[in-house]
Amino acid sequence: MSNLINLQGVTKRYGSSKNPVLAVDNIDLSIPKGSFTVILGRSGSGKSTLLNLMAGLDKITTGEIVIDGVDLSKANAKNLAKYRSQIGIIFQFYNLLPSLNTLDNVRMGAWAGGKKIDESKAVELLTTLGLEHRIKANVKTLSGGEKQRVAIARSLVSDPNLIFCDEPTGALDSKSEDQVQQILIDLHQKQGKTIVLVTHNPEFENLADTVITMSDGKIVNIKTK
């Protein structure tokens, strides 16, 4: 498998020069296309920071991130926006727009990418995810598990090959957690999506072909099955 993601000497520093926080500390990492990578680590170990850097949501301090040929450290705003429109991102707390219904939240995924809004694609995704009866519902009225499935549909509407997940089941009951895990397994195994998932939950080890452990902003272990 060729590498889709390449990180070299990636560092992210927050805070002032007097009180620096080294959230990500000199990370080298390659992630193959079509893999399912899980990044484990305790709270504060730098997982979300690393994911946000790879998703183009935050700027690296030093080093280089190249994803699918795009050098994120050098990309201008336009190219960065284009890159972000081509990936999927799933967050712990869904990040839905509370004033919109289910369908419009999913269509937002296409608007954000500047693409034509394809309503039938959104409906199809929501149906696959078992939400056809909730299409017109205001997302405020949905359960946590339903909200996360809406967020997954939104992330898929622009058909990304690469999906980033940050604690995707962190706010869910165990039944919804199982559902979301199965959706991620299917996206990987049946559709060949590359998935990078960060979590403090060791249960996700079972889904991964590569398990990376972070501590204090560093990678301390890499296990490939």
> Computed from CA positions of residues 75, 80, 84, 86, in that sequence, does the dihedral angle turn out positive or negative?
negative
Q: Does 47 bind ligand ADP (CB under 6 A)?
A: yes
Which of residues 10, 31, 38, 49 is near ligand ADP by CB under 6 A?
49
Please tell me the distance from the alpha carbon of residue 118 to that of residue 115, in angstroms, as a whole number.
8
Contact range with ligand ADP by CB under 6 A, out of 46-54, 126-134, 140-148, 150-158: 46-54
Q: Does 43 bind ligand ADP (CB under 6 A)?
A: yes
Per the rule left: phi > 0, alpha: psi between -120 and 50, beta: everything else, 85 is alpha
Please tell me the distance from the alpha carbon of residue 73 to that of residue 53, in angstroms, as a whole number.
9
Which of Mg ion, ligand ADP, none has residue 19 at its interface (CB below 5 to 8 Å by kind)? none
Q: Does 60 bind ligand ADP (CB under 6 A)?
A: no
Amino acid, res. 8:
Q
Tokens of 22: 């080294």
Nearest residue (CB) to Mg ion, 131 versus 212: 212
Q: Which residues pair with 29 in a beta bridge?
A: 7
Cβ count within 10 A of residue 98? 9
Which of residues 9, 20, 21, 99 is near ligand ADP by CB under 6 A?
21
Which of Mg ion, ligand ADP, none has residue 14 at its interface (CB below 5 to 8 Å by kind)? ligand ADP
Q: Least distance from C-beta 45 to Mg ion, angstroms? A: 8
Q: Least distance from C-beta 48 to Mg ion, angstroms? A: 3
Furthest-apart CA pair in the chain: how many Å? 54
Please tell me the distance from the alpha carbon of residue 206 to that of residue 210, in angstroms, as a whole number.
10
Q: Does 169 bind Mg ion (CB under 5 A)?
A: no
- Residue nearest Mg ion, Cβ-based: 48
Contact range with ligand ADP by CB under 6 A, out of 43-51, 75-83, 149-157, 169-177: 43-51
Which of ligand ADP, Mg ion, none has residue 148 at its interface (CB below 5 to 8 Å by kind)? none
Read off φ and ψ for residue 195, nearest 5 degrees: -120, 130
Q: Burial, 26: exposed, middle or buried (Cβ in 10 Å; 0-12, 13-18, 19+)?
A: middle
Q: Does 76 bind ligand ADP (CB under 6 A)?
A: no
| Residue the block writes with tokens 């909730």 | 134
Contact range with Mg ion by CB under 5 A, out of 30-38, 48-56, 59-67, 147-155: 48-56
Which residues in this chain contact Mg ion in the complex, by CB under 5 A? 48
Which residues in this chain contact ligand ADP in the complex, by CB under 6 A? 14-15, 21, 23, 41, 43-49
